[in-house]
Structure 1
Amino acid sequence: MDIQSVQAELVTELREWCEGEFLDEETALFALAPRGHEVAEIEETLGTVKAFGRVRVRGRKFNTKLNRLSVLCETREKLDPTKIPPDVKHPTTEDSWPVIIVGERTALGDAVKTPLKSLLDASASNDSAESIIRAVGDLLSKIEKPSGENSSYRRLRMFSGTLPTPAGEEALEHWLEQARLMVEESDCSIKEKRRRIMECLRGPALSVVKAVRTAEANVTPSKCLDAIESAFGAAESGEDLYFEFRLLQQEKNEKLSDFLRRLEQSLTKVVSKGGIPASRVDVARVEQLLRGAIHSDLMLIQLKIRERKQNPPKFLELLAEIRAEEEYAAARVKLSTSVHRVHANKEVDGRQTEILTLKAEIKELKTLFATMKTEPCQEVGDDNDTVPVPVSSVEFWKCRGSSAEETSV
């Protein structure tokens, strides 16, 4: 009897056998071996398959329909259906032992074989490229895309709604932003999105979502996030948020680009609450930029923002222009500072030269003064060309006294 015709029966038998032996279906397999093989030989033969790992026989019984031994085996690791071969060959006799597992390997194999067979038949009967392309298209359409339920994703951080925000948790605004991004961009099911949200909640926030699910069992992930925002967010209307937006001003030493990003964050909240229609976003952004940028008037003039008020640029375009102008201004300031530093260094060098010259002159005067103190009084001749030698003040007065006495005599 063909194994494929009783495939479903064998899988059902494997499930029942695993339940009776208390085995995990993900680590169990069913081998159909000929009669006359011992347990050790069966384990050794199945052990030749690397995907099985270490195999242990847990039960044996004879199948009269297939005239083979049905051997229940257990592996140490969980089996990957994509890596399990449909049969195992005995190393000596080269006999094929069919292998049955609880998985989707057989179903996937059948789904792929039929289109492949049709592709080969089409190629054999008609060698045109059009028929081959059509067959390949049919093959790709029949192969199911892998489910995103177990795909890797960035886990949301914990949120409890407690204030102040505990360590390791995210603030409400940041958490809601990441959660809404996951709901909008992820291609997994609604149930999986809801599970991802609930697994990151605890405390009061988890209680709120549980209450919402009690009232509506199949509540959407977006409604769960709306409930959290209503329970823990600021109770502000769209008009209140728009009024706060119109009061924003540039802080001292704040770059114009940073102020624009702050405006955009506030403007996004206003639009989400219905404070202004989305069609007026660009106009409102430019108006408040002109009103609130009190420390960047010159840059606004250089960018001609006021002249473009009737046809305002988009956020990213405006941000790119402002950042380019800021970098240009920073480069000008850096160049000016460099030139000023060079001039300052030249002035310092000139002053140092003057100081050294003065020090040398002072040292020379000190030496001359010391010489005047130490040298004795010398007679001065009548020759007018003779230069008197300097003497100390004491010797000078002594000489004056001697000259006076001689004159009186």
Structure 2
Amino acid sequence: MEQQLYDRFQTDLQNWCKGEDLDVNHAMLVVGVGEDDTIAKIEEELQTVRCWGRVRVRGKTFDVETNSLVALCECREVLSTLSVPPEVRPLNGSLPWKIVTTNPAHATSEEFSEKLKKFMLAEGKRIEDLQYFCHPPSPQDNTVESLVRIMGEFMSQSRKAPSENHSYRRLRPFSGTTPTPLGEEQLEPWIEQATLLIEESDCSEKEKRRRVMEGLKGPALEIVRALRFTNPETKAEEYLDALNRAFGSAESGEDLYFSFRLVQQKSGEKLSDFVRRLEPLLARVVQKGGLLPKDMDRVRVEQLLRGAVGADLLLLQLRLKERRNSPPTFLDLLSEIRA
């Protein structure tokens, strides 16, 4: 990609992140995406690159100059300037996708060689094994194009195979039946466990869908099956959203936020216990859209000041009123109270 075009995409990335309220250090643009590539397909392809962790597509747009789609992606990890590759080659053989970050500084050939040696050593292979991994070498294979292709196939297979078969803790069954049958989980704890399974797993989107479905039965399973029949590419997170809509509380985010602001410290309840009791209620408000995640720390402190009873001296010591503009996180607040 020409430097002038790259600079323009960098500016687009910064502006797009401001509009989506994203941290630019956790964001990148993927240029050259095909019109037939679904969001699930893009995320699955990018998931094979470990340096940026879990990836979510936050939006797509068409770029006239490159005559291709451009995807804005949010990454779990901070994008290190020395580890982000300049492009990703999809496994279906289509043209490579160009990667744009705010501060590109791709590794030198010596750094790449050193990283390659460490990777091969960790996989129990030698550099020479690359030539024979896919097929016997030929004179036509002594090109950069061939090396990139072989490396892509090697890393994809060596990384995907373990993650697909890696042992994991299966979800307890959930059917949505009321009252909850013996041995089954209620909705909220089941959703929390399923969300954790999805977010922490490095496996493919197809495997995530399978793991969610194996924890369902009865009416809950029928809902997910209907959703899957309508759109086979539905993501695992959308399964959870559908179950929440079908079996979750009918209260809106605004209703939950209003209820949260009425919570008071109980007689004899420790202040640390009160803060811990507030947290799942606050999380439900955010989950239902009644509050933005970035406002959680502020609202938590405000409700602690409003709902605490007989703890004025401790609150004064913590100087929470003076720290409303820069409130502590949940764990920091809990540690200060316990100390």
| TM-score after normalising by structure 2 | 0.53
Q: Distance in 1 between matches of 2:154 and 2:228?
A: 37
1:277 partnered with 2:280: no
Secondary structure class of the residue paired with 1:147 = helix
Over residues 129-180 of structure 1, what are the superposed CA-to-partner deviations in whole Å (9 max), with x where a residue is unaligned?
xxxxxx9xx9899462333111100000010111222221111110000101
For 1:222, the equivalent position in structure 2 comes to 237
- Percent identity reads 56
Letter in 2 for 1:211: A
**Greater percentage in helix:** 1
For 1:293, the equivalent position in structure 2 comes to 308
Q: Distance in 2 between matches of 1:117 and 1:309?
A: 57
Cα contact 1:250–1:295 (8 A) shared by 2:
no
1:244 partnered with 2:259: yes
For 2:128, the equivalent position in structure 1 comes to 115
Cα contact 2:130–2:151 (8 A) shared by 1:
no
Letter in 2 for 1:179: A
For 2:198, the equivalent position in structure 1 comes to 183
Cα 1:139–1:191 change in 2 (3 A) is closer
Runs of 4+ in 1 over 6 A off after TM superposition: 138-141
**What pairs with 1:1-20 in structure 2 (closer than 5 Å)?**
none
Comparing 305-314 and 227-236, the one that deviates more: 305-314
Q: Distance in 1 between matches of 2:174 and 2:154?
A: 42
For 1:203, the equivalent position in structure 2 comes to 218
Comparing 147-156 and 269-278, the one that deviates more: 269-278
Q: Distance in 1 between matches of 2:192 and 2:240?
A: 10
Cα contact 1:112–1:139 (8 A) shared by 2:
no
Cα 1:256–1:113 change in 2 (3 A) is closer
Query: Which of 164, 170, 175 is 1:155 aligned to?
Result: 170
Cα 1:202–1:117 change in 2 (3 A) is closer
Cα 1:247–1:147 change in 2 (3 A) is same
Letter in 1 for 2:226: A
Secondary structure class of the residue paired with 2:265 = coil
Over residues 348-398 of structure 1, what are the superposed CA-to-partner deviations in whole Å (9 max), with x where a residue is unaligned?
xxxxxxxxxxxxxxxxxxxxxxxxxxxxxxxxxxxxxxxxxxxxxxxxxxx
**What is the RMSD computed on CA atoms of the aligned residues?**
2.7
For 1:261, the equivalent position in structure 2 comes to 276
For 1:387, the equivalent position in structure 2 comes to none
Over residues 246-285 of structure 1, what are the superposed CA-to-partner deviations in whole Å (9 max), with x where a residue is unaligned?
0111112211111112212111221222212233222211
Cα 1:113–1:276 change in 2 (3 A) is closer
Shift of 1:117: 9.0
Q: Greater relative contact order: 1 or 2 (C-alpha under 8 angstroms, separation 6 or more)?
A: 2
Shift of 1:311: 2.5
Q: Distance in 2 between matches of 1:237 and 1:224?
A: 20
Letter in 2 for 1:201: L
Q: Which runs of 5+ in 1 are unaligned?
A: 1-110, 119-134, 325-409
Cα contact 2:253–2:289 (8 A) shared by 1:
yes
Secondary structure class of the residue paired with 1:252 = coil
Cα contact 2:176–2:247 (8 A) shared by 1:
yes
Cα contact 1:183–1:193 (8 A) shared by 2:
yes
Q: Distance in 2 between matches of 1:268 and 1:181?
A: 14
Letter in 2 for 1:293: A
Shift of 1:245: 0.9
